[in-house]
Amino acid sequence: MNAANQTIYALSSGSLPAGVAVIRISGKQAMAAVESLVGSVPAPRHAVLKTIRTRNGLILDRGLVLTFAGPASFTGEDCAEIHVHGGKAVVASLLAEIATFEDCRLAEHGEFSRRALENGKMDLVEVEGLADLISAETEMQRRLAMEHAAGGLSDLYENWADRLTRARALIEAELDFADEDDVPGSVSDLVWADMERLHSELATHLSGADFGEIVRDGLRIVIAGPPNAGKSSLLNALAKREVAIVTDIAGTTRDVLHVDLNIEGYAVRLYDTAGLRETDEIVEREGIRRALKTVADADMVLSLAEIGEPAQTDFVGFTGKVFKLGTKADVHGTAPGDYDLLISSTSGAGLKELHQLIIKDLQDRSSSLSLALPSRLRHRVLLTESLGALSAAIESESLGLDIRAEQLRLSANSLGRITGRVDVEDLLDVIFSEFCIGK
């Protein structure tokens, strides 16, 4: 029997020991496995407390058994869930027993979701949303993932793809009747007017990709500045733990360090870097090279300088926002200087304001309240392709209608590849490798 027809099983709940462990089984043998384990198959969707035994009658545990008859299940196949006590030996013995059933094997990463996709229970964006939901650590990541998992984005793309397909059909009809007089030119005008509206909707949507990616992957904030400005001290103060080494020796930090923060529901990755100065010291120079590279990839730079010293405003390769922070306000008070904010990592002064500044920046980046946004490079690439083909269709008035119709087809195709409606076999291994086993 080939791998896709086999029945798969896995521990779907988290690490052991735990109060409860959930073992999920999906495939043709799911019901037979349940019958062997608990003596009968409970009615679908009814939780029943059962004694679970090996085929030799040895009691493994007592637990809840739930069945879902395909296609009304997560994977679209016959599925079962067995909830047992979350002990390592309990789970190991149950998995070992299931392994002995014919055509049953341990699931691979994301294989339950992959079957759901293949059986049309979910599309690719929904599957990605589910993966993101499982790995979401902040409220905004959860909301974005939920939007994708619940099909909000998929509906949008399907709807746009349908509009493109209808437009193409109308244009092709016009082609077929080109020699006749009974297709009014106004149909064509209406079609192109709608395509222009679609173009602007797509472009607006694509412009939300920056924010979508920031919500999903976290805002990258880099702390930069001269040695002893207090960069590592700020990282530690914001992380509320001693992550970085702090000393009064200039050039303490060499490697790039980072901590992940949750700032009002947004994921933020904060980087500490080596102090910037001219130096011949080999290790320090490498540290500075890495610091500048990290700055170039940042979404935001906090440029630190001890109050009284000028804060650097330009960084090679970085075009985003630079906030100038005057440090050590506890010793310098409010001495004048050109800073966006004065802080003290020692006293905590200004740190609340720094949070607000970051939140304000995040809010400025989101053009709408909706989180129905592209959030992966894959989405961005295909949306750009779709928009490009649509532009070509609209702009190439001098070319034949057949060429313009073909561009509309390509535009719809790119959208179809986002949801997986159009051939995506080549993408699946990459997408599912991100998943945990049991999902």
Ligand X SMILES: Nc1nc2c(ncn2[C@@H]2O[C@H](COP(=O)(O)OP(=O)(O)OP(=O)(O)O)[C@@H](O)[C@H]2O)c(=O)[nH]1
Burial class (CB in 10 A: 0-12, 13-18, 19+), 93: middle
Taking the mean position of all CA atoms in its chain, how far away is CA 255?
Answer: 27
The count of other CB atoms within 10 Å of the CB of residue 193 is 10
Per DSSP, the chain holds a count of helices (H) and strands (E) of 15, 12
Cα separation of 131 and 153, whole Å? Answer: 15
Interface with ligand X (CB under 6 A), residue from 22, 131, 149, 246: 246
Query: Restricting to residues 117-146, which ones interact with ligand X according to CB under 6 A?
Result: none
R_g of the chain, CA atoms, integer Å: 29
**262 known member of a binding site:** no
What's the number of CA atoms in the CB half-sphere (13 Å) around residue 233? 21
Q: Is 282 helix (H, G, I), strand (E, B) or coil?
A: helix
Interface with Mg ion (CB under 5 A), residue from 67, 232, 375, 414: 232
Q: Which residues contact 292 (CB under 8 A, 6 or more apart)?
A: 276, 315, 316, 317
Interface with ligand X (CB under 6 A), residue from 36, 93, 262, 346: 346
Residues in the interface with K ion (CB under 5 A) total: 2
The contact pattern for ligand X, residues 291-330, with x = CB under 6 A and - = no contact, is ------------------------------------xx-x
Look up residue 336 and give its two tokens: 């004048």
Pick from 437, 439, 427: which is nearest to 130 by CA? 439
**233 known member of a binding site:** yes
Q: Residue 330 CB, nearest distance to Mg ion (Å)?
A: 18
Interface with ligand X (CB under 6 A), residue from 248, 278, 314, 425: 248
Query: Restricting to residues 13-32, which ones interact with Mg ion according to CB under 5 A?
Result: none
Interface with ligand X (CB under 6 A), residue from 275, 350, 416, 438: 275
**273 known member of a binding site:** yes
**27 known member of a binding site:** no
**100 known member of a binding site:** no
- In contact, 291 and 298? CB cutoff 8 Å: no
Does the protein bind ligand X through residue 279 (CB under 6 A)? no
Interface with Mg ion (CB under 5 A), residue from 253, 294, 312, 413: 253
- In contact, 209 and 383? CB cutoff 8 Å: yes
**Sites of contact with Mg ion (CB under 5 A):** 231-232, 252-253
Q: Which residues bind ligand X (CB under 6 A)?
A: 227-233, 246-248, 250-253, 274-275, 327-328, 330-331, 344-346
User: Annotated binding site for K(+), which residues?
Assistant: 228, 247, 249, 252
Residues flagged as binding site for GTP: 228-233, 247-253, 272-275
Q: Where is the binding site for (6S)-5-formyl-5,6,7,8-tetrahydrofolate, in residues?
A: 24, 81, 121, 439
